[in-house]
Amino acid sequence: MRQRYKTGINIAASLHFVAALPNTHYFEYCVEQGALRQTLTKQKFPVIDGDICVPEEPGLGIDLDEAVVEKYRVR
């Protein structure tokens, strides 16, 4: 499944990493909206006027849609 790197999980983790680095002002953001990107996390991470917010909730700051997790689960 090619879309794994585009999920909200990776975006949230990458945002936290970049936010922790000194003197970092850029974040590479994939704008392709694949199925997992649109549905896996409840958070959507919109880019507004060139800015994207780092989640502030505990952990990575994301909530998974359990129905989507079940749909894509490999057994």
The domain locations on the chain are 2-72
pLDDT band at 31 (very low <50, low <70, confident <90, very high): confident
Q: pTM above the 0.85 mark?
A: no
Task: Quote the pLDDT of residue 66.
Answer: 96
pLDDT tens-digit map of 41-65: 999 888 889 889 999 999 999 999 9
Are the beta carbons of 12 and 42 closer than 8 angstroms? no
